[in-house]
Chains A and B, each alone.
Chain A
């Protein structure tokens, strides 16, 4: 599937749970450019996961519009949406010991008819995805036996198999140690270089600082900042977003955030 023009645009998007529930996201406006990595930053409870779910189409926004390459999300057919947008959730707990390969193969579902089984082509794509990520060696291990880092990579392999142009990742580095964090961040860069639009949420600004091209900062359900990283990463912006004093320094050509 070609990936041209998959920019996401948010226009005054609002969302609340239930008809009388509190409004969780208030008039969000901003742009998520295609073929780039966009980080969603914000403290816990600021609505990052909710926004990702809205982009996925899992939740329906109450007001405003979400457009992907100029077309409203609601106008896409469900089938096309599944081929377009993939999600790596925060965690995937399965009480059955599926093998890595079997799990990754599930990413082919949007491309298969209801009763169809994966074919040779699907196998090949899944294997390619595993190799791209560099985990082909563990393809026959069972999911519960994987470490946190391996599991994260496997989940990414799955959305890669899905061949979706837009990849949403919910807190992909939150539970990982240093080495695994770096690996995942590198993979995300690789995905971007492959032409994917990568959107990930994180509560750690340095993860964003490392690889993001574009940043959306949320606080209390509002977008405080939506800009390329250099513009966005200022002491003032970050302090406002997180509610604590921070300092931004430049390190090896990338910004870095120092909490006091």
Chain B
């Protein structure tokens, strides 16, 4: 609706629905697990025995928060990348961010001892180097507009990192290190504890806040350069700030969770199908969808079977299926 009153109503509606959905997902996930019985945990467990309480509060709670934050971050970052690069098929992998993280993790596993802290630091570090490298390289390329240059640079950096990671896998000892690397590459949240949350939150929350606050400006930044220049004097700086926030948050969560693909690509599309392409809606709705999506996938990962299913596999599988369904049902187009 294009009247202001209509908009205000829609905003309120969205906010209420969004909060409701998030609460239901989070609460529901809290009672899913494998202790004391597979699948559903009765609420009495909270005061029944100490072990159950410990499991719920020290194991499950940080993990579902981490899953939700992971989903929010990857989706918001995906939406931002897609609009800034004016390409609906873009995600973090394009700028060398996830490949950088993968390379850093492999390096830590193969050459630096493979301790958890080392892996995380290296992953975050190289993710940033990936972005920096792409930006630096983009300045040197003399071909086309800045979008093309940055994408080309990103592809080059990603390729370098992928080759590096491949080489490290080759060097890795198949008995000990290779399974570690493979599992890291598939992604998983099974090691998350409260200290991890304490490390992620100070980075992710401010970055997501920035992306949320600047969501309307994102529309401007998605325009052609002439147009965005005519409307805002700081288009370049605004783009930089949003990219930086998106990458920083992504690096932080990826360093803890490993590589989780598809979320940044698919969720913004799903959001667009429901609320249209105005970034003012797409960004927050992507965050909400993404958070719930990864949360539900992680619930499956830790509850469905005795052993953990790598999260990356589930997000790809479920995400692709959902996407196909959504693509084929053209009628779903609820405009805000």
Contacts and interface: CB of A to CB of B under 8 A. Distances in A.
Q: Are chains A and B touching directly in their complex (CB below 8 angstroms)?
A: yes
B223 A106 contact: yes
A56 B230 contact: yes
Given A58-B226, A92-B224, A106-B231, 8 more contacts: A57-B229, A94-B86, A94-B222, A96-B277, A106-B223, A110-B232, A115-B214, A123-B7
Nearest to B238: A114
A79 B276 CA distance: 30
Interface in B272-331: 272, 276-278, 280
Contacts of B44: none
Interface stretch (A83-91, A216-224, A241-249, A252-260): A83-91
Nearest to B231: A109
B214 A97 contact: no
Given A96-B88, A115-B214, A123-B4, A102 B226 contact: no
B226 A87 contact: yes
A2 interface: no
B83 interface: yes
A82 B231 contact: yes
Residue among B219, B224, B227 with max Cβ neighbours from chain A (10 Å) = B227
Nearest to A130: B2
Contacts of A119: 4
A96 B272 contact: yes
Interface residues of A, number: 39
Interface string A112-132: 001101111001100100000
A217 to B, nearest CB: 23
Contacts of B224: 89, 92-93
A98 interface: yes
B216 interface: yes
Contacts of A93: 224
A162 interface: yes
A85 B225 CA distance: 15
Interface string B1-39: 011100100000000000000000000000000000000
A96 B229 CA distance: 19
Contacts of A107: 231
A117 B230 contact: no
Given A96-B83, A123-B2, A102 B278 contact: yes
Contacts of A106: 219-220, 223, 231
Given A106-B219, A106-B220, A99 B335 contact: yes
12 contacts: A56-B229, A58-B230, A89-B226, A92-B224, A99-B278, A99-B335, A109-B217, A114-B214, A120-B4, A123-B4, A127-B2, A139-B2
A70 interface: no
A81 B234 CA distance: 12
Nearest to A155: B227
A28 B230 CA distance: 23
Interface in A212-246: none
Contacts of A102: 219, 276-278
